[in-house]
Each structure stands twice: as structure tokens, then as C-alpha cells.
Amino acid sequence: MPRWWFYSQPVTKQIQSLASLPIWECGLIMVLLAVGGATLVELIARRIIPHQLRRDHNTMSAAVFTVIGTTYAVLLAFVAMLAWGSYNHAEQVTDTEVSLIQNVYQLVDGLSGPEMAGMRANIVAYAEAVVRTEWPAQEAGRVVGEDEPHLDELTTVALHLRPDNIADGDLHTLLLSDLTRLSSARRERLFAARTPIPEILWVVLIDGGGITVVFASLLGSSSLALHLAMSSLLAISGSLVLLVILALSNPYRGDLSISPQPFAQVTRHMASP
């Protein structure tokens, strides 16, 4: 097991704890921590490094700080785009799954045979299980199992159907295709429910932000208040981007979470006479 994994676990647990808070509260905590850290670093730097020494090296420090700041900004942008893409994909997968549930129900309704009543009951039960069982588990950050009894039974029955006319045969072919796609969409949703940002990236993002703020404190400024303001604003800007990444990297948790309402609507539609 990689050594970095042991260091990242406390960070990962804290991040997941923050993700469960309301976004305004999470943002407030992150901003306060950022400002407090930037202020503390600046005061310590002024205590241990003579002011004149920092002013004498401002030109070189500013050049190095530009490189560090640009590198960190590129990393933030990359991870933010990764989180945004994962969030959009989770939305698309959710919509696809809902559409396939409705398609499967309509195809089953169009088939004839004694098995159809049980198949309709299974697809309705599957949609209800997503809303009542799987969604709360995803919101709590728990891992949902890959197997789903209602969907498994529905697929098994569909595989054993033997249509006795061409029309039912065509519908049966479409049904098997949509069931395969539904299973794939469900697996993609379960995968998207897990945090797509690797632990090592969180460690690099947090440490990189800290390094950037620390290096900013090495610049010499005659005004302590002005330097504190600049360092604080730098820390706040980074923490706000981290807040966006945190919110988007948990598509089924928090205030920006994807709603299960489409599943509930399709369930009511299927259950209505």
C-alpha cells in the first residue's frame, strides 16, 4: 500500500465531513481557516525573518512566487474542470437511468404473457428502491452494492422469455437491450457517487495552497495591514475554488446534490392506473 495513503486518510475524512455540511457553513469554515492560517504565517514570518532581508530579496521572491502561483492556479483549474466534468456526467447518467426505467416499463407493458405483471412490479420496485434505499445511502457517503434483486430478477425473467410472434419478438429484443443499458447506467451512477477526486490530489491541493500562502509571506512590505490583506485575499480565493471542487466532487451529497425527484416522478407515473 502506498505510503502517501496513510497521510491522506485524516485529510480525506475531514474533507468528507465538510462535504456533509451545508455549503454556506462549509465555505465559512474554509474561509476562516484560510484567513487565520494566512495571518498566522505572516506574523510568524515577520517575527523570524528581518523585514529588510525580505525587502532586499523582493525581486527574486516575486519571480519565484509568480511561478509557484501559476503552477498552483493551473492545478486548481485542472481539478475544478475534472470535478465539473464528473458532476455533469453524474447528471447525465441519472437522467439516462430514469429514461431507461420508463422505457423498460413501457416495453414490458407492450408484451403479452403471464410474466408481465411480475416484471412490471419489479421495475416499479426497482425505482422505489433507488429513491428509498440507494439515494439516502449515497447522500450519507455509504457504498451501495452492485447487485439489486429487483433488477436481477427482471433481467432473469426477460432472458427466459420466448415470444410467440414477431411483434413480441421485436419488443423482447428492445427490452433486453434497454435492460443491459439500465444495468450499465446504474453501475455508472454508483461509480459517480464515489468521490472522483483521488486522495493524493486533495493532499497536493491543500499543501500547494499552504506553500503558496507561505511564500507570499516572504515578500517584504512596509505595511503589515496591507500584507495581511493581500495574503488573506490570496488564501480566500484559493479556498473558494476548493469549495467549488468539494461541492462538485460529491454529486449526490450536499446542497448541490443531484435530486432523486426524477425517479420519484417516474415511479408515480408507473404506479398510476
How is residue 145 annotated by DSSP? Answer: P
Q: Is 169 left (phi over 0), alpha (psi -120 to 50) or beta?
A: alpha
Euclidean distance between CA atoms 89 and 214, whole angstroms:
36
Length of the chain: 273
- Going by pLDDT thresholds of 50, 70 and 90, the confidence category of residue 11 is low
C-alpha cell at 178: 434497454
Rg over alpha carbons for the chain, rounded to the nearest Å, is 26
**Gap between the Cα atoms of 154 and 157, Å rounded:** 5
Query: Cβ atoms within 10 A of the Cβ of 52, count?
Result: 9
CA atoms within 13 A on the CB side of 144: 26
Q: Taking a C-beta distance cutoff of 8 angstroms, is the pair 129, 147 a contact?
A: no
Whether pLDDT at 3 is above 70: no
pLDDT tens digit sequence for 73-111: 999 999 999 889 989 999 999 999 999 999 999 988 888
Overall average pLDDT of the 120-138 stretch: 90
Read off the pLDDT of residues 200-258 as tens digits, 9 standing for 90 and up.
Answer: 888 889 888 888 888 888 777 777 788 888 888 989 999 999 999 988 888 888 788 88
The mean pLDDT of the chain is 84
d(CA 83, CA 75): 12
Q: pLDDT band for position 166 (50/70/90)?
A: confident
Cα atoms in the 13 Å half-sphere on the side-chain side of 217:
24
Task: Compute the Cα dihedral for 2, 249, 182, 115 and give only its sign.
Answer: positive
* Per-residue pLDDT, 116: 84
C-alpha cell at 27: 465555505
